[in-house]
Structure formats: C-alpha cells, structure tokens
Structure 1
Amino acid sequence: MINVTKTFFPPLDEYIVQLERIWKNQWLTNRGELVLELEKKIKDFLGVNSILITNNGTIPLQIAVKLLGNQGEIITTPFSYVATTASILWENSTPVFVDIHPEFLTIDETKIEAEITDKTTAILATHVFGNPCNIEYIEQLALKYGLKVIYDAAHCFGVTYLNKSIFEFGDISTCSFHATKLFHTGEGGAIFCNDNDLMHKIYYSHNFGHNGPLDFHGLGINGKISELQAAMGLATLPYIDYIIEERKNVVQYYTSNLDFTRLKKMTLRQNTTWNYSYYPIIFESETQLLKVQKVLNENNIFPRRYFYPSLNKVNYVEYSEMPISERISQTILCLPLSHELECNILEKIVSLINSNI
C-alpha cells in the first residue's frame, strides 16, 4: 500500500539511546532535559530567535488566537486543514474568509482589505503546502490597520523566505510536528515569536498559567510536550537533510514526467527555499480527479484530497461563496511523497495518471 506520505522512523537503536536517557533521568514531562535539548537543536538548525515546542500542532494555533484574537473577527483562508478554522471558533473568535490565489493557493492578499472592519483583530494566513503567503503585503496591511498576524506554518519546517526562516515572520508562527510531517515527534508542534513579552505569555499559557508551583501569571492550558516525544525528535532531526533531499528527487520526477498539458501544479512564490513537503496536482474537473483517484486506489496507491472541502463549506461556519477555493478543493489531489518512494512505484503512479486524464 502506497499512502500519500510515509512517516520517517529513525534507526531503532538511535531512538533507544534517547529513551535510555529518559529512564536514567526518571523524568517524563514538564520540560525535561530532552525537551530543552530538542528546542536548542531546532533553533540552531532553523536559525530562529525563539521556539517553544508543544504536544501537538493545533495547541499553538489555539494559544495564538486566544492571545491575539480577542474574540473578534479573524481574516483567514478557506483553503487549509480544518484546524485553522476550528482554532478560531474554539477560541470564540469569528473566521472571516478571503478567497485564495489560483496559482499560489495561499490567501489572496489583494482581497483582504475589503473584509477589514472595526471588529477585525487579526489575520490568520496559511503557508499552503509550505508555499509562503505574500508576507510583505499582509504585514503592511496589518501595520496600516493595527492588526495582529498569525501564520499557520504547519507544513513549513525548513522553508526559508527572503533568506530567513519562514517562522521569523508575523507576530506568531506555528508549526506541526505530526507523524505525517517532514520533521516529527510523533505528535507535536511549535510556536515561534520574536516579541519577548508575548513569548512570555505564550510560555505560561501552554503550562496552565503557572508562575512557579503555587502562583499563576494568568489563564493557561496544557500544551507541554513529553520527553518521549522529544526523544523521537532528537532521533529524527539528524536525518532531516536526507529526508528533504529524497523528497526533492521524487518531486523532480513528478515534475519531469507528469503530463502538464492536462494538469496544473502549484506556483512556488519567488525568494522561497522550499522543503518538498507535498506534491499537489490540479485537474481540469472533479470528474477527472475522481477517475484518476479510483484507478490509483485500485492499484493500492492512495493519494489524498488536501484540502477538501473548502472550509467555508463546513457545517459549523456561516457559508460565504469562495469560488476559487471551492474549485481548487474539488480538483486538487496530493500525490504520494516520501523519503522512500522507489522508481518503479513512481513510474507506475505517473503512468496511471497520464493514461487516465
């Protein structure tokens, strides 16, 4: 079975070395030695100024919205994983959707200003499939109207934009370390923030609000990652360059061999160093997509419809028409992409697609 992705498992003996440290320390949670070491190593690898790793990738979004959304209207994209919109609603804010750019697939920055009202508090934009939003435009708008900027950068580990880590932009950026991601801790995530005062609030917000064992800075939840998760991260991080390079080879094969007279691919924004996190293709119609998906499934190949449906159509939001997002969500399919896709499998995938479009 060839799935849309394959989790990287580090060599078992190297993972066991990390587990032995946990047993020796007799420390499982509450920011132990492995968590602190992993934060430092990620910080050094990415070249970022600050990081707080968490128990999953959704908690960072919820904390960001809690601290910056102020239960107001948050302008966001309908083309993202459901956690983006769900986090806004979960924290009692209101998502205001803006349609996407048909080539970059990120929020159409030119349509944001028309949706800004006196209730708007923030912009929550997704770097879709690791492809950056128009950061300069968004941040100029935020400055003009006094808005906060949150970037859902779940797909962006290792991405740089304008020669800086993508996580260095915005008031808060978030990332996922889920098992399906390039770098993972099984379950996990991270928050990035360059404002020391805001980072202090983020820190205590992810630790029940604690200020020492008997005092509290304020309201908080439990977003702490365990030493067991950090052990997986420490065993995986040394292989991240290998993982990205192998995925790059797969991407280059698809790009060179798929028939793009009948298909479209995402346009990567200029000044981006990409991480080869996903390989989406866009069909001429949903009928064509479903035909190809059926043929691939019959051959034990399972791509995935990221992202479907368009989030403006989920049943717990008020519907507003988003024609581009709705069309893209109906016609986009992410092909299998991992560090372990052999040439014969790639040949089969490409052949089945090209002969059925």
Structure 2
Amino acid sequence: MIPVTKPGLPDLTKVKKYLDDIYERRWFTNNGPLVQLLTERLEEYLGIENLLLVANGTLALQVAYRALGVEGEAITTPFTFVATASSLSWEGIKPVFSDIDPESFNLCPTKILEKITKNTNAIVPVHVYGAPCNVEHFERIAEQKNLKLIYDASHAFGVNHHGSSLLSYGDASTLSFHATKIFHTVEGGGVVFRDKEVLRRAQSLINFGFSSDGEITGVGINAKMSEIHAAFGLSLLDDIDGLIARRVEIQELYQTELNGFVQFQQRAQESNLNGSYLPIVLASKEQRKTVELRLNFIDVKARRYFSPSLNMTRPFCDVGEKDLPRSEDISSRVLCLPLYYELSDKDVLRICENLKRAIG
C-alpha cells in the first residue's frame, strides 16, 4: 500500500546522541537546553524572530489567541483542518466562516468584508497546502478595521514570500510540527509573534502563568515542548533541505504528468514550493469517487483533504454562514495524492497513469 504520507525519519545516531545528553542532564522539560537550541536554529533557518515552541499546533493557535487578547468573533476559513476552527471555539471565540478564493483555496479577502461586525475581533486565515494567502490585502483590512491577524501557517514551513519568511506576516503565525508535516518533532508546534512583548506574555501563558522571575502573574496552562521532542526536531533539521528538495521534485513531477487533466491550486509567483501537499481538484464529485476507487484498487491511498467544508459539519453547522458555495464545491472535488520523501518517480508515474485512465 502506498500511503498518502509517511513521517520523515531523523538519523537515529543523532537522536541517540541528543537522548544521551538528556539522560545525563536529567532535564526533560521546562525550557531545557535542547528546546532553546531548537528555537535558535529554527529562527536562523526560517529567517524569523520571536518564535515560541509549544507542545502541538493546536495549542499554538490557542496560545496565540490568548496572548493577543482575541475574544468575541473571529473570521476564518471553512476549507481547513478542523483544529483551526475548534481552537477558536475552545477558547470561547465564535468562528465565523467566510468563503474561499476558488483558485488559491485560501480565505478570500474581499468576501470577509461582508462578515465584519462590531463583534469581530480577529481574522484567522490559513495558508492552505503551504500556498500564501493574499497577505498584503489581509494586512490592510486588519489595520483599517483594527483587527488582530493570526495566520494558521501549519503547512507553510520554509515558504518565503517576496524574499522573506511567510511567517513574518500578521500579529502571529502558527506552525504545526506534527509527524505528518515536512518538519516535525513527532508532536509539537510553534508561534511566531510580531511583538516581543506579546512573546513574553505567551511564554508565561504556556508555563502555568509564571513570569520569568517565578511570580504567578496570571492564569496559564502547560503547553511546553519537551526535550525529547526537541531532540527529534534537531536531528531532522540537519537534513531538512534534502527532504524538502525531494518532495518538491515529486510535486513538480505530478504537476507535469497531470497538467490538463486536473485542476491545481494556484499560488503566488512570489513564493516558493515546499512540497507539503499535492492537492488536485477533479471535474465533479463523481469523478473524484471514480479516481479514489481506481487508486484504492492499485493499493494507493489518497485523501479527501479537506472534506467536508467545516460549515457543513456537526460542531459548526450552527455558526457563521450556512451557504459557502466555493468551499463546499472544492471540498467535494478535492483529493490529496501521496507525497513523501521515499516515494519513487516510478510510483508517481504509475499513480498518474491510473488516475488519467480513471478520468477517461
């Protein structure tokens, strides 16, 4: 069976060296030296500042909302993983869904203008599949309407826009380091803050509300990354350029082979590919089902990612807009094809051949 993804594996020798260091120090958590080192190395690699590492990508979103004081309502996309919306609800913030751009699959900036009310406090766009949102447009809206701007950048590791990190946009950008992501720490996440003072507030929030001098200054939670998770991340980071390069090669091979047969996501020319996902959109829901069946028959697993549109799901069907035709349409026809470092060109060509046969 060819799965839709496989986690990248760090060098075990490197992992063991870090684990030996952890055993010797017996410092397993509470902002240990490996978490500090990973923070420094990621800031350097990604070209960012004010990075906070946390236990997972969902907590990254929740911490960002808390640190920035988001409340009331936040406008977001229904075409995303459920954590984008559920993290808002969990924090008592009402997610208000707005429709997407039919070509980029990202939240449409002009559409959200119809959704802004006196209760709107934030915009939470998603860089879907690692393709940048129209960040310039969102920045203008957030400034004009005095709204917080938090990007869910879970898919955007290593993506640059106009020569600088995509993570540098907004009041905050969040990352997921889940095992299915390009770069991972098995479980983990991060938040990149624009303002250093907000970073300091978030550092206290993830450590039970303790300040740097040990005083309890507010209500917090435990969202810290452990040393063991940081060890996996440090080991994988050494090889990340090769992992990304190979994934981009696979992405480009798919696009060459399937050009003219399926719809691809359109992305800004000013940004680079990072090989995070290979989404295709079929001509109809029925054609998508036919392709799925054909791929399953040859032991290839594709994934309807993201489907259904979140406004059609039970937890969220009573919030925001019921009728979001673009998101509902793309969600019914989208399919993510297998993409991981070890996937061979031969297997990619076999997948493409069978997919084109299924389309007819």
Measured after TM superposition, the shift of residue 213 of structure 1 is 7.7
Q: Any conservation in 1 of the 2:50–2:195 contact (CA below 8 Å)?
A: no
Q: Any conservation in 1 of the 2:126–2:133 contact (CA below 8 Å)?
A: yes
Aligned equivalent of 1:89: 89
The answer as to 2:123 corresponding to 1:123 is yes
Aligned equivalent of 1:267: 266
Which amino acid in the other structure matches residue 268 of structure 2? Answer: R
Q: Which moved more, 1:68-77 or 1:1-10?
A: 68-77
* Structure 1 Cα separation of the partners of residues 22 and 161 of structure 2: 37
* Structure 2 Cα separation of the partners of residues 325 and 214 of structure 1: 47
Q: Any conservation in 2 of the 1:304–1:334 contact (CA below 8 Å)?
A: yes
Secondary structure of the residue that 1:45 maps to in structure 2?
helix
Tell me which of 310, 313, 332 is aligned to 1:330: 332
CA offset digits 1:249-301 (Å, max 9, x no partner): 1112111111x333100001131122111010000111111111111112221
Measured after TM superposition, the shift of residue 70 of structure 1 is 3.7
Secondary structure of the residue that 1:126 maps to in structure 2?
coil
Aligned equivalent of 2:23: 23
Q: Any conservation in 2 of the 1:69–1:122 contact (CA below 8 Å)?
A: no
Which amino acid in the other structure matches residue 327 of structure 2? Answer: S
Aligned equivalent of 1:48: 48
CA offset digits 1:185-225 (Å, max 9, x no partner): 00000000020211111111111111258521211111101
Q: Which moved more, 1:206-215 or 1:16-25?
A: 206-215
Tell me which of 340, 351, 354 is aligned to 2:353: 351
Aligned equivalent of 1:279: 278
Q: Which moved more, 1:207-216 or 1:102-111?
A: 207-216
Aligned equivalent of 2:234: 234
TM-score (norm 1): 0.97
Which amino acid in the other structure matches residue 273 of structure 2? Answer: W
CA offset digits 1:116-139 (Å, max 9, x no partner): 111100000000000111111111
* Structure 1 Cα separation of the partners of residues 69 and 3 of structure 2: 37
Q: Which moved more, 1:330-339 or 1:310-319?
A: 310-319
Aligned equivalent of 2:206: 206
Q: Any conservation in 2 of the 1:153–1:174 contact (CA below 8 Å)?
A: yes
Aligned equivalent of 1:314: 313
Secondary structure of the residue that 1:312 maps to in structure 2?
helix
Which amino acid in the other structure matches residue 261 of structure 1? Answer: G
* Structure 2 Cα separation of the partners of residues 14 and 67 of structure 1: 35
Aligned equivalent of 2:304: 305
The answer as to 2:6 corresponding to 1:2 is no
Identify unmatched segments of 5+ residues in structure 1: none
CA offset digits 1:208-243 (Å, max 9, x no partner): 111258521211111101011000001000111001
* Structure 2 Cα separation of the partners of residues 18 and 68 of structure 1: 34
Secondary structure of the residue that 1:199 maps to in structure 2?
helix
Which amino acid in the other structure matches residue 325 of structure 2? Answer: P
Moved over 4 A (4+): none
* Structure 1 Cα separation of the partners of residues 345 and 113 of structure 2: 47
Q: 1:128-277 counterparts in 2 under 5 A? A: 128-211=128-211, 215-258=215-258, 260-277=259-276
Secondary structure of the residue that 2:322 maps to in structure 1?
coil
Measured after TM superposition, the shift of residue 15 of structure 1 is 1.1
CA offset digits 1:101-121 (Å, max 9, x no partner): 010010011111111111100
Which amino acid in the other structure matches residue 101 of structure 1? Answer: D
Distance 1:189 1:126, change over 3 A: same
Q: Any conservation in 2 of the 1:68–1:122 contact (CA below 8 Å)?
A: no
Secondary structure of the residue that 1:273 maps to in structure 2?
coil
* Structure 2 Cα separation of the partners of residues 19 and 59 of structure 1: 25
Measured after TM superposition, the shift of residue 71 of structure 1 is 2.6
Q: Any conservation in 2 of the 1:262–1:284 contact (CA below 8 Å)?
A: no
* Structure 1 Cα separation of the partners of residues 315 and 82 of structure 2: 11
* Structure 2 Cα separation of the partners of residues 314 and 47 of structure 1: 38
Q: Any conservation in 2 of the 1:185–1:233 contact (CA below 8 Å)?
A: yes
CA offset digits 1:45-88 (Å, max 9, x no partner): 01101211111110011112233354311010010100000011
* Structure 2 Cα separation of the partners of residues 134 and 212 of structure 1: 37
TM-score (norm 2): 0.96
* Structure 2 Cα separation of the partners of residues 253 and 145 of structure 1: 43
Number of residue pairs matched by the alignment: 356
Which amino acid in the other structure matches residue 143 of structure 1? Answer: E
* Structure 1 Cα separation of the partners of residues 5 and 342 of structure 2: 9
